[in-house]
Homo-oligomer: A and B are copies of this chain.
Amino acid sequence: MSAEAVGIAPVSFQRAEQDLPFVPYQDGVMFQLLQVNIEAGLWVVRVRAEPGTTFQRHKHTGQVLAFTLSGSWRYLEYPEVNTAGSYLFEPAGAIHTLHVPDSNDQITDIWFAVTGANLDLDGNGNVETVLDAGTVLEIYRAQCLANGHPAPDVIGA
């Protein structure tokens, strides 16, 4: 038996940059949702943040792969600064606070593949909100609608 014996291979799914809109996530942050696999707990997202942005401290229940396209940022808990071309691997269990410095003179643009949930933590370390493939898809669809975009054709949605 050769690999040919498999027959028809499953197809790949592509989205060009302009295929899916960037919509507001929080003040100073726009995002584009590229893929969700709710049953696998995977979500792939691109985030564009203005200088001076901080995201709520959160714990990850799965692994995250991050590739930085422009700008600079770091987690307040680690010294490494991510700039264009930086790759970051975040293991399950990581807890951190994403910060984009005020001193940046351009948008910080980051591509993330996230497995599992972001557990957003309050000041006492309790879970305040859960951001996962299902909830991020709801937020993206609602923001596309609210901002006059057609229903987005997210991979896997």
Contacts and interface: CB of A to CB of B under 8 A. Distances in A.
Q: How many copies does the complex hold?
A: 4
Interface of A: 1-7, 9-18, 34-35, 38-41, 44, 46, 59, 61-63, 65, 67, 69, 75, 78, 80, 82-96, 111, 113, 115-117, 119, 121, 124-127, 129-130, 132-135, 138, 155
B40 A9 contact: no
A93 B127 contact: no
A85 B17 contact: yes
A109 to B, nearest CB: 9
A10 B94 contact: yes
Nearest to A119: B3
Contacts of A124: 2, 4
